[in-house]
């Protein structure tokens, strides 16, 4: 099953990017990262709607969609791993993880998402969310394969 991470904004070199890459490299194949950015000077609801459009345009047909959202569901790592396993076992080819911009996700993303996933109710910087997500994907892989990285 292919993993796509679509995110608003361009990563700059730095510790968040290093951490993100470090966890991605452990996965085979590694998740594909697609970055989107609106160049026009939009703001507020218009910007959110446009960013939603750009994120949704990256989706492979039929992908399961997980939108990272602080107001989403707070599930454990094992539940997360099992959800990925269930999608894989039901024939799903692609899972896409969508990370929003400074104002969060537009309605179109929320409506398309199969899961709104929260990493807790606090707001994390979006570049750190990439690294947290990559770590949880590696942890999910460890859970499903019995790798000792994850201690139950």
Ligand X SMILES: C[S@@+](CC[C@H](N)C(=O)[O-])C[C@H]1O[C@@H](n2cnc3c(N)ncnc32)[C@H](O)[C@@H]1O
Q: Residue 91 or residue 120: which is nearer to ligand X going by CB?
A: 120
- Per CB under 6 A, the segment of 26-34, 67-75, 87-95, 142-150 that binds ligand X is 67-75
Give the C-alpha separation, 101 to 64, whole Å: 21
Q: Which of 52, 129, 131, 134 binds ligand X (CB under 6 A)?
A: 129
Q: Residue 93 or residue 107: which is nearer to ligand X going by CB?
A: 107
Q: Which of 48, 64, 83, 105 binds ligand X (CB under 6 A)?
A: 105
- Per CB under 6 A, the segment of 21-29, 31-39, 102-110, 142-150 that binds ligand X is 102-110
Q: Which of 68, 84, 113, 140 binds ligand X (CB under 6 A)?
A: 68
Give the C-alpha separation, 113 to 55, whole Å: 11
Q: Does 99 bind ligand X (CB under 6 A)?
A: yes
Q: Does 83 bind ligand X (CB under 6 A)?
A: no
Q: Which of 123, 145, 147, 149 binds ligand X (CB under 6 A)?
A: 123
Q: How many residues bind ligand X (CB under 6 A)?
A: 17
* Secondary structure string (H, E, C) spanning the chain: CEEEEEEECCCCCCHHHHHHHHHHHHCCCCCEEEEECCCCCCCHHHHHHHHHHHHHHCCCCCCEEEEEEEEEECCCHHHHHHHHHHHHHCCCCEEEEEECECCECCHHHHHHCCEEECCCCCCCCHHHHHHHHHHHHHHHHHHHHCCCCCCC
Q: Residue 76 or residue 152: which is nearer to ligand X going by CB?
A: 76
State yes or no: 58 annotated in a binding site.
Answer: no
């Amino acid at each position: 099953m292919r993993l796509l991470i679509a995110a608003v904004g361009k990563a700059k070199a730095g510790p968040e990017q290093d951490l993100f890459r470090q966890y991605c490299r452990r996965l085979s194949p590694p998740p594909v990262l697609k970055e989107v950015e609106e160049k026009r000077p939009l703001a507020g609801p218009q910007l959110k709607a446009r960013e939603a459009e750009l994120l949704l345009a990256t989706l492979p047909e039929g992908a399961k969609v997980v939108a990272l959202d602080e107001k989403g569901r707070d599930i454990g790592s094992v539940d997360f791993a099992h959800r990925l396993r269930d999608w894989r076992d039901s024939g799903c080819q692609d899972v896409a993880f969508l990370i929003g911009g400074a104002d969060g996700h537009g309605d179109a993303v929320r409506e398309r998402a199969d899961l709104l996933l929260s990493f807790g109710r606090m707001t994390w910087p979006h570049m750190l969310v990439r690294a947290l997500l990559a770590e949880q994907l590696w942890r999910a892989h460890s859970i499903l394969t019995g790798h000792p990285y994850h201690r139950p």
